[in-house]
Structure 1
Amino acid sequence: MADDKVKGPASYFPSIEKKYGQPIQHWLDLVKARQPAKHMELVAMLKDEHGLGHGHANAIVAHVMAGG
């Protein structure tokens, strides 16, 4: 049986969209627009400027940094 469950940072995407009311592409584009930057600088930007929680911000940044 194939395991089709989404894993890694993308597994957070449905809850991010539900909690913050924006499509995930909105958040990915914000992070991409701030590059180049360090991982934690981008996490801090999402938290401080947009009110995301640490885990959600970290998942978005990790996905972008991994080439997603």
Structure 2
Amino acid sequence: MSDTKIKGPASYFPSIEKTYGRPIAEWIELIRAALPGRHMELVAMLKEKHGMGHGHANAIVAHTLAELGD
């Protein structure tokens, strides 16, 4: 059994799914659909349109943009 802790933006994912009731894959798709967009514009979209807190929105955007290599 591994005791490796998830670090970085992905460490927020369980809390995000529990708090907002949607899987991370759906949030990532929302961000991808809003591209091209700057990091903080995407964070603002999640906060304003979906009521997400800043830390959670920032974590998903950071993770998604890193996956895309942006």
Unaligned runs of 5+ in 1: none
What is the TM-score of this pair, normalised by structure 1? 0.93
Q: Distance in 2 between matches of 1:3 and 1:33?
A: 35
Q: Aligned residue pairs: how many?
A: 67
Residue-by-residue CA offset, 1:32-53 (whole Å, 9 max, x unaligned): 1111110000000000000000
Q: CA RMSD in A?
A: 1.2
**Number of the residue aligned with 1:49:** 49
Q: 1:62 offset after TM fit, Å? A: 0.2
> What is the aligned-residue identity percentage?
67
Q: Distance in 2 between matches of 1:34 and 1:20?
A: 19
Q: Which moved more, 1:2-11 or 1:16-25?
A: 2-11
User: In structure 2, how many angstroms separate the alpha carbons of the residues matched to 1:67 and 1:49?
Assistant: 23
Gaps of 5+ in 2: none
The code of the aligned residue for 1:46 comes to L
Moved over 4 A (4+): none
TM-score, length-scaled by structure 2: 0.90
